[in-house]
Structure 1
Amino acid sequence: MPAPGEPMILSTDPVPLTVEGRDDIAIMVEIATTPVETAAGLMFRKQMDNDHGMLFAFDRESRRSFWMRNTVMPLDIIFVRADGKVDSIRRGKPLDETPLRSDGKVRYVLELKAGQADAFGIEDGVVLRHPVIGG
């Protein structure tokens, strides 16, 4: 657990997350799975590479909501169903505590720097691939 006010930095998974049908996309992800990791997420991060993100993996599908408490970077919050298909995308505003909800039940959430979902061609219905997804 990081010190109060400090970002949590998880190790980057050696296998990149990919976008089905886009061989030119490789997103390096930190994977948050524990309650502590999923609660901290990208809080207090001031910068992140464009090809980097955090993948939140939950044990079951459910409607999810995320907020931007203590998150200083604007983010694309990508809600992903158990089969890897993108359910919905929300834009998170820095430090905003308004809940950003998925449209349907999801098992994964991918956070990227704001604008990167568009840059990578990630939109509703696109399939994301990673060994964690679907596992």
Structure 2
Amino acid sequence: MRFLSRPLFLATLTTLALAIVSISGMALFPRLAQAQPASPKQHSTLPITMLTIGLYSVNAEVASREADRQQGLMHRTSLGPNDGMLFVFDENAQHCFWMKNTKLALSIAFIDESGIITDIAEMKPETTENHCPRRAGRYALEMNQGWFAAKGIKPGAAIRGLP
């Protein structure tokens, strides 16, 4: 028969007690005991940057990786009044957007390499209609629908603070 040292015995006893509490908790709260799979609707924490458009400030989540750009604002149910998502692309091109699995009505500003808005489009939720800029660009900024119009922001406006 082998004896445990006092510290090892206490550690073993603690582990056993935690296991019993855990099992008891599962019996009392069976829903908590079920493994919850990661939902595709969960969003990773994206970096946030402060953008300035004229007199207005925007808190923009930055989607610069392919996976983040593909996810975009899908499955979100709300967006703060001055919050948005900035899509940053590696290449200067005509990047098109659609609203599949996006529950929010959004406005999108397409932005060229120098930070000038080239186009603004209104996008309806849950649609697969393509929204494309007329010119190549490196950025796109999605905001709540009507945000740009309400602020009087039109193509030709400059955005400061782009990464």
TM-score (norm 1): 0.87
Partner in structure 2 of residue 3 of structure 1: 39
Greater Rg by CA: 2
For the residues of structure 2 that align with 1:7 and 1:91, how far apart are their CA atoms? 25
For the residues of structure 1 that align with 2:148 and 2:76, how far apart are their CA atoms? 19
For the residues of structure 1 that align with 2:124 and 2:133, how far apart are their CA atoms? 16
Write out aligned runs for 1:46-57 (5 A): 46-57=77-88
1:10: how far off? Answer: 3.1
For the residues of structure 2 that align with 1:63 and 1:33, how far apart are their CA atoms? 16
Identity of aligned residues (%): 29
What amino acid sits opposite 1:16 in the alignment?
Answer: M
Does the aligned pair in 1 maintain the 2:46–2:63 contact within 8 Å? Answer: no
Asked if residue 33 in structure 1 is aligned to residue 42 in structure 2, the reply is: no
Q: Which has the higher helix share?
A: 2
Higher RCO (CA < 8 A, seq sep 6+):
1
Match of 1:72 among 103, 109, 115: 103
SS at match of 2:134: strand
1:12: how far off? Answer: 4.9
- For structure 2, the 5+ residue unaligned runs are 1-37
SS at match of 1:39: helix
Q: Which has the higher strand share?
A: 1
For the residues of structure 2 that align with 1:65 and 1:55, how far apart are their CA atoms? 14
Partner in structure 1 of residue 11 of structure 2: none
What amino acid sits opposite 2:141 in the alignment?
Answer: L
What amino acid sits opposite 1:17 in the alignment?
Answer: L
1:130: how far off? Answer: 1.1
